[in-house]
Chain A
Amino acid sequence: MMETTFTPWAGLFGGLLIGLASAGLLLANGKIAGISGILGRSFFGATGDLGWRVAFLVGLPLGAFVAVHASGDPLGFAIASNPALLITGGLLVGIGTQLGNGCTSGHGVCGMARASRRSLVATLTFMGAAGLTVFVVRHLLGGAA
């Protein structure tokens, strides 16, 4: 388990950029910047919308690549190495976000910004479930996740 440092300014600045991107996509294209929704509809959504969806999704790693290489990645990167854990987590995130119509961006940022009741409840639910999961894994099972 890697210990991390509290970085409020970097967090706030990065958050402002995320907000800017969400506001931009909404004002310019009229679309909600919910990653899981954009991802899900890239597979079976309306074909006329495929272009902007893929463009937005491709922008994510490109933006991160530039930021990490320009800054030397001061905030680090540490991920679990257990393949079973990675696969289980990935499947749950994939299925859960489609069933629940959104993730941290769609519900947590865009939905909460609109004061949507569904998004508020979804955000509290996934935050609670995630917090409980970490508590069980780290403090009850003593795992390394």
Chain B
Amino acid sequence: MRTALALVCGLVFGTGLAVSGMTNPAKVLAFLDVAGRWDPTLAFVMGGALLVSAAGYRLTRRRERAWLGDAFSIPSRQDLDPSLIGGATLFGVGWGLVGLCPGPALANLARGSFEIALFVAAMMAGVVGYRLFTREGTRPVAQPTH
């Protein structure tokens, strides 16, 4: 049941990415290019997503557990550390170079494009490499962050 619901959520998420146009790197780069021919669509995508997501989060506050019985895994950290800023900066540079963040990159695998496959392979190498290097994966994960 957990797996089935996660699949449905993934399907809806992927549909949303494609419908919003965020699977098109050119559209993302046009949002980031405020000095060029600016396309503000991404702000509307984010606004729509935040609206529903925030409503969903408010509903969790009235409940002890999720519908399927698990505790809510919600990050509690509030501190701002160099990893957060450094990681976000590296991610931002990569995002700005190609116009793909992880969600749209994976969603675009549906296109069978060589460029997407290459980008996703490099992204996976980065993810696995980082986790191997920091050995984060060998520690038990008690409270998932994001």
Binding site for B on A (CB under 8 A): 1-8, 10-37, 39-41, 43-46, 51-53, 55-68, 71, 73, 75-81, 83, 85-114, 116-119, 121-123, 125-135, 137-139, 145
- Smallest Cβ-Cβ distance to B109: which chain A residue: A61
**For the complex, what is the distance from the CA of A13 to the CA of B17, rounded to whole Å?**
10
Q: Which residues of B contact A2 (CB under 8 A)?
A: 26
Q: Once the chains bind, are B70 and A22 in contact (CB under 8 Å)?
A: no
Q: Once the chains bind, are B32 and A64 in contact (CB under 8 Å)?
A: no
Q: Once the chains bind, are A125 and B85 in contact (CB under 8 Å)?
A: yes
Q: Which residues of B contact A62 (CB under 8 A)?
A: 10-11, 14, 110
Q: Which residues of B contact A64 (CB under 8 A)?
A: 14-15, 17-18, 23, 107-108, 110
10 interchain pairs (CB within 8 A)?
A8-B40, A15-B50, A21-B9, A64-B107, A94-B126, A96-B126, A106-B146, A118-B84, A133-B95, A134-B96
Q: Which residues of A contact B97 (CB under 8 A)?
A: 80, 85, 88-89, 92, 133, 137, 145
**For the complex, what is the distance from the CA of A64 to the CA of B108, rounded to whole Å?**
7
Q: Once the chains bind, are B106 and A101 in contact (CB under 8 Å)?
A: no
Given A14-B18, A86-B119, A106-B146; A92-B99 close (CB under 8 Å): no
Q: Which residues of A contact B49 (CB under 8 A)?
A: 15-16, 18-19, 22, 109
Q: Once the chains bind, are B20 and A101 in contact (CB under 8 Å)?
A: no
